[in-house]
């Protein structure tokens, strides 16, 4: 059976499973099933499908690849059974064949299983075996092949290549003739790789003149030269050395996970605490960047100094700060904005995110982390040009990142209550996707496990309950593929079953699972006489923002300690709050009386606040107290400000207003900025936002196509295939003179043919003015053109009416 006919014979449900598992086959949707079969056999599509196979299923493909043609299932079961480390090939072989048929990598009945077109070419050295004899000796001179065949197969007939292939198909006798050293060299190549390096590999040597072990092998064709210094072991010889086995110690099941057993309830609570902490870190990050945004580097990204300062302010390791920055940016909470050079500012989306519940905010961040194609773990490392990789740098994108995260979490999901070791997770993933391996993949797995713990998806190394719900909502983890198939089947049903399919597709809301585990926020603090305030638990969002404004965080932990100071109180006053408002807020949110020392601090800072006014000249200082201005001009620290007394109450400066305000505050004064109208400029913490939305990249979910999209694609393929099969073959134009007639008669005849639905014979002038004749089925006329089915070309075409010379009827 041809592969295209096998595809055409698949049921609609099987085709939906195929396009759902391999969505690249319908991007865009082919015109018919023949086009789908051709695309399924393209090298890129086959490579993607092979990358999705586990080690055992890939071994089944490799076993079929070393066969010359279709193989019965019994033969395949025998070959696979020889390679199994333990147990029988069934039922693992049956499941593997079902999956390979679903992916259209294997087709045909059980008595003639074969690989889809192109699969053999896509496999480089399957199972570590070299190419067949016919391929490995393809470029050898014919006279050299004749000499080799005369030496090892005297008396046989045929070409040198044919005689050599026949002799090497049963190489037992040839292997007995070589020395022990030569046989040991072959044994080293038997289980792969099948290539080696030999000086002067293309030397001409005969069996009688061979001296060294390598020459003995080259003379008998047991090794074939593929380059000046490279040799390979022919596939037939390799299979004989393996005793007829294609693989050695093939595991039919994934390796068991090893690790530490944890209490699931404890893991869930731990993960919930991490989730809450991560949300607060992102919130604090956005709040700090609201009033003190860092600049954007010319090459893009966040500067090293800004990153270190942020790490200190958030009181977290640098990799955690980088993770928070990257997730906030990918979620659209921060973006590039500001002036010409650019600054990293919160977006208006942050204001919407901030007012949602903590559980909902975590779901947004966790889903963003799960699907984003950026790798925060690379921050601080260097690229191939030895340039540092900064946070938010464009070079942090890795397309494999979301796939590796999903695979790593899928491994954790398969072992509830177990915290597997990193090596165990890598071994399991190597079995699940053996073609996707390498140092970068191992590094991405390490990053994924570390970040999952920090984000709160896992706790104590165990996948949490809300983490499992998060994966289910994203279509990741055990059973996701089966769930997708089920939804696809239901989506293709009648309208009465669509509601049930949609209901079955709804996963548990991860926010609902997380919410009961989160700590209850408190709405009060404990003020103390040493100008500190203790938050006995996580504060509400609004109180946390207010405390961050009016005080500095001194320590974090089970209880957060805030300290009030001149600078922190002045920061609150700069934000537009008065002394009375500050004290009223402290009394409202404190479970203890406001200490006298704190009241005096607020009153003293408020009394001095704003006595000095700074405006724009370059800048100027205005104060109603001339003595205070005398004090400023006499201060040696003001020399760099280039001050000039304009009036008893006014001093001008060549520096900018912002620099002048900062300098005076560093000297111990409490100035405020004022506008050109003399009004005080209030700097609010949430006053700065990015002008536009964040430029985020949408990463598709890993659970394949939407079921309704897959069903629609299959319907389109069936309809296109029906039209493709119903196409008519071209017919010859009638003999005789080409029809000619007046233009008005031609138009009238075509209109009548359209109404009656009959065929006509026309004369037509092509673009070079050559007269031709066509047999048409006219469909419509509009805009000076006739649209018709051209039976002489077996296609639909548009014909310019002014080029039609005449119309004649057909009997």
Cis check for the bond before 750: say yes or no (omega within 30 of 0).
no
3-state helix, strand, coil in the chain (%, to 5): 50, 15, 35
Asked whether the predicted pLDDT for residue 506 surpasses 60, the reply is no
Average pLDDT over residues 609-634: 83
Let me know: does 259 contact 424? Beta carbons within 8 Å: yes
Q: Are residues 23 and 140 in the same domain?
A: no
**Which is it for the CA torsion 565, 569, 574, 579, positive or negative?**
negative
Distance, CA of 68 to CA of 117 (rounded, Å): 13
DSSP string, 302-365: B-HHHHHHHHHHHTS-HHHHHHHHHHHHHTTSEEEESSSS-EEEE-HHHHHHHTS-HHHHHHHH
Residue 438 has what pLDDT? 76
464/363 Cα distance (integer angstroms): 13
When pLDDT is cut at 50, 70 and 90, the band that residue 340 belongs to is: low
Domain boundary among 101, 128, 155: 128
pLDDT over threshold 70, residue 692: no
Residue 713 forms part of a structural domain: no
DSSP state of 674: B
Q: Does residue 622 surpass a pLDDT of 90? A: no
pLDDT-above-90 percentage for the chain: 36
Q: Is residue 410 part of a domain?
A: yes
3-state secondary structure of 449: helix
Q: How many CA atoms lie within 13 A of 361 on its CB side?
A: 24
- Separation of alpha carbons 458 and 418, rounded Å: 11
Please check the confidence at residue 675 and state whether its pLDDT lies above 70: yes
Instruction: Give the CA angle between residues 463, 466, 469 to the nearest 5°.
Output: 95
Q: Is 140 helix (H, G, I), strand (E, B) or coil?
A: coil
Give the number of other CB atoms < 10 A from CB of residue 313: 15
Looking at the fold, whether 572 and 595 belong to one and the same domain comes out as yes
700 pLDDT more than 50: no
**The dihedral sign for the CA sequence 118, 123, 125, 126:** negative
Is 309 found in the same domain as 342?
yes
Per-residue confidence (pLDDT) for residue 504, from 0 to 100: 37
258, two tokens? 């090893």
For the stretch 758-787, pLDDT in tens is 889 999 998 888 889 999 989 888 888 999
Q: What is the DSSP string of 519-550?
A: PPPBS-BEE-TTSEEEESSPBPHHHHHHHHHH
Q: At what angle do helices 439-455 and 422-432 cross, to 10 degrees?
A: 120
Backbone angles phi, psi at 229, to 5 degrees: -135, 25
DSSP secondary structure code for residue 552 in this structure: E
Mean local confidence (pLDDT), 23-29: 90
Residue 732 lies in a domain: no
Residues 645 and 657 in one domain: yes
- Which domain range does residue 768 map to? 743-809
Confidence of residue 507 (pLDDT cuts 50, 70, 90): low
- With 0.85 as the threshold, say if the pTM is over it: no
Which residue's structure tokens are 């020395």? 179
The rounded distance, in Å, linking the Cα atoms of 629 and 627 is 5
Predicted confidence (pLDDT) at residue 600 exceeds the cutoff of 80: yes
Q: How far apart are CA 638 and CA 655, in angstroms?
A: 11
Q: What confidence tens digit (pLDDT) does each residue in 97-145 have? A: 999 999 999 999 999 999 999 999 898 888 889 899 988 888 888 888 8
In this prediction, residues 712-741 reach a mean pLDDT of: 82
Alpha-carbon distances of 570 from 239, 622, 667, 669, rounded to whole Å: 82, 19, 14, 11
Residue 557 has pLDDT above 80, yes or no: no
CA atoms within 13 A on the CB side of 154: 2
Gap between the Cα atoms of 742 and 254, Å rounded? 80
Residue 359 is assigned to a structural domain of this protein: yes
Dist. CA 535–CA 557, nearest whole Å: 10
DSSP state letter for 259: E
Specify the pLDDT at position 411: 93
Residues contacting 211, CB < 8 A, separation 6+: none
Distances (CA, A) of 440 to 26, 312, 398: 30, 30, 10
Residue with tokens 């074939």: 224
Place of tokens 């209490």: 263
Domain shared by 394 and 298, yes or no = yes
What pLDDT, in 10s, does the model give residues 248-268?
888 888 999 999 999 999 999
What single-letter DSSP state applies at residue 297? P
- Contact between 362 and 279 under an 8 Å Cβ cutoff? The reply is yes
689 in a domain, yes or no? no
Residue 496 lies in a domain: no
- Note whether 216 and 282 are same-domain residues: no
CA atoms of 190 and 235, how far apart (whole Å)? 9
Please say if the pLDDT value at position 15 is more than 90: yes
Give the pLDDT score at 688: 62
pLDDT class for 458, splitting at 50, 70, 90? Answer: very high
Q: Residue 558 burial (CB < 10 Å; 0-12/13-18/19+)? A: exposed
Q: Average pLDDT over the chain, rounded to whole?
A: 85
Q: Which two tokens stand for residue 58?
A: 């890939």
Paired sense of beta strands 804-809 and 760-765, if any = antiparallel
Q: What is the largest CA-CA distance in the chain?
A: 122
pLDDT, residue 696, reads 45
Gap between the Cα atoms of 643 and 262, Å rounded = 68
Residue 556 has pLDDT above 90, yes or no: no
Q: Are residues 169 and 310 in the same domain?
A: no
User: Do 18 and 153 fall within a single domain?
Assistant: no
Q: Is the peptide bond before 316 cis (omega within 30 degrees of 0)?
A: no
Tokens of 750: 């075509």
Last residue of a domain, one of 448, 481, 514: 481
Does residue 297 sit in the same domain as residue 346?
yes
Q: How many domains does the chain have?
A: 6
Cβ of 383: how many Cβ atoms within 10 Å? 12
pLDDT, average across residues 491-507 = 41
* Structural domain contains residue 715: no
Residue 477 pLDDT: 61
223 and 277 in a single domain? The answer is no
**Residue 219: left (phi > 0), alpha (psi -120 to 50), or beta?**
alpha
Identify whether 235 is part of a domain: yes
For residue 568, which phi and psi values (nearest 5 degrees)?
-70, -40
Checking if the pLDDT of 626 tops 50, the result is yes
CATH of the domain at 786: 2.30.30.100
More confident residue, 798 or 338: 798
Same domain, 362 and 274: yes
428 and 319 both lie in a single domain: yes
Q: Look at residues 210, 241, 272 and tell me which one is the last residue of a structural domain.
A: 241
How far apart are the C-alpha atoms of 401 and 266, rounded to whole Å? 29
In angstroms, rounded to a whole number, what is the distance separating the alpha carbons of residues 186 and 503?
Answer: 61
């Amino acid at each position: 059976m041809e592969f295209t006919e096998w595809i055409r014979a698949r049921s609609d449900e099987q085709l939906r499973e195929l396009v759902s598992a391999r969505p690249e086959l319908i991007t865009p949707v082919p015109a018919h099933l023949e086009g789908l079969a051709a695309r399924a056999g393209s090298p890129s599509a086959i490579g993607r499908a092979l990358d999705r196979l586990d080690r055992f299923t890939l071994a089944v493909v490799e076993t079929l690849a070393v066969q010359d043609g279709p193989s019965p299932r019994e033969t395949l079961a025998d070959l696979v059974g020889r390679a199994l480390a333990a147990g029988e090939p069934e039922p693992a072989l049956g499941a593997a064949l079902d999956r390979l048929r679903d992916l259209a990598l294997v087709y045909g009945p059980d008595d003639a299983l074969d690989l889809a077109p192109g699969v053999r070419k896509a496999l480089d050295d399957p199972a570590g075996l070299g190419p067949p004899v016919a391929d490995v000796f393809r470029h050898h001179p014919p006279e050299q092949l004749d000499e080799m065949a005369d030496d090892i197969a005297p008396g046989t007939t045929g070409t040198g290549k044919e005689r050599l292939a026949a002799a090497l198909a049963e190489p037992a006798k040839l292997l007995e003739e070589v020395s022990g050293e030569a046989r040991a060299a072959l044994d080293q190549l038997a289980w792969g790789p099948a290539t080696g390096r030999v000086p002067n590999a293309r030397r001409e040597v005969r069996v009688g003149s061979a001296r060294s072990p390598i020459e003995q092998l080259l003379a008998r064709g047991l090794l074939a030269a593929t380059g000046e210094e490279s040799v390979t072991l022919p596939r037939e010889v390799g299979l004989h050395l393996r005793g007829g086995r294609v693989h050695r110690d093939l595991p039919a099941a994934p390796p068991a996970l090893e690790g530490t057993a944890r209490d699931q309830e404890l893991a869930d609570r731990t993960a919930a605490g991490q989730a809450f902490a991560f949300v607060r870190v992102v919130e604090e990050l956005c709040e700090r960047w609201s009033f003190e945004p860092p600049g954007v580097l010319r090459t893009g990204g966040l500067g090293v100094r800004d990153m270190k300062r942020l790490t200190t302010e958030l009181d977290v390791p640098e990799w955690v700060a980088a993770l928070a920055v990257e997730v906030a940016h990918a979620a659209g909470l921060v973006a590039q904005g500001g002036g010409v050079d650019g600054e990293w500012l919160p977006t208006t989306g942050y204001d919407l995110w901030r007012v949602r519940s903590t559980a909902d905010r975590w779901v947004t961040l966790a889903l963003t982390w799960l699907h984003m194609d950026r790798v925060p773990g690379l921050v601080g490392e260097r690229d191939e040009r030895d340039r540092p990789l900064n946070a938010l740098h464009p070079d942090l994108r890795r397309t494999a990142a979301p796939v590796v995260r999903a695979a790593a979490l899928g491994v954790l999901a398969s072992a509830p209550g177990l915290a597997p070791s990193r090596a165990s997770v890598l071994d399991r993933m190597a079995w699940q996707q053996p073609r996707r391996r390498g140092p970068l993949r191992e590094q991405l797995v390490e990053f994924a496990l570390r970040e999952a713990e920090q984000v709160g998806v896992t706790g104590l190394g165990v996948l949490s309950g809300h983490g499992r719900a998060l994966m289910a909502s994203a279509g990741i983890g055990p059973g996701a593929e089966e769930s997708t198939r089920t939804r696809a089947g239901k989506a293709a049903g009648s309208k009465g079953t669509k509601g049930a399919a949609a209901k079955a597709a709804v996963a548990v809301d991860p926010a609902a699972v997380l919410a009961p585990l989160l700590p209850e926020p408190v709405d009060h603090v404990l003020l103390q006489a040493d100008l500190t305030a203790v938050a006995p638990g996580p504060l509400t969002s609004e109180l946390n923002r207010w405390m961050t404004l009016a005080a500095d965080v001194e320590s974090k932990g089970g209880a957060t300690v805030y300290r009030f100071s001149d600078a922190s109180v002045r920061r609150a006053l700069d934000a537009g709050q008065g002394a009375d408002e500050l004290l009223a807020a402290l009394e409202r949110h404190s479970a203890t009386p406001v200490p006298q020392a704190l009241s005096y601090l607020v009153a003293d800072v408020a009394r001095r606040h704003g006595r000095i006014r700074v405006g724009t000249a370059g800048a100027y200082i205005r104060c109603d107290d001339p003595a205070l201005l005398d004090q400023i001009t006499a201060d040696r620290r003001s020399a760099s400000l280039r001050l000039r007394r304009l009036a008893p109450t006014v001093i001008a400066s060549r520096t900018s207003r912002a620099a002048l305000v900062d300098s005076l505050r560093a000297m111990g004064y409490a100035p405020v900025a004022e506008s050109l109208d003399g009004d005080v400029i209030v700097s609010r913490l949430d006053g700065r936002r990015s002008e536009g939305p964040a430029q985020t990249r949408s990463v598709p979910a890993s659970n394949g196509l939407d079921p309704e999209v897959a069903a629609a694609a299959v319907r389109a393929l069936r309809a296109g295939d029906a039209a493709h099969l119903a196409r008519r073959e071209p017919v010859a134009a009638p003999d005789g003179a080409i029809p000619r007639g007046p233009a008005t008669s031609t138009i009238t005849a075509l209109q009548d043919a359209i109404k009656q639905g009959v065929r006509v014979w026309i004369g037509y002038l092509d673009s070079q003015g050559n007269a031709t004749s066509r047999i048409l089925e006219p469909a419509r006329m509009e805009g000076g053109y006739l649209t018709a089915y051209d039976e002489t070309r077996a296609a639909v075409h548009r014909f310019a009416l002014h080029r039609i010379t005449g119309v004649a009827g057909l009997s």
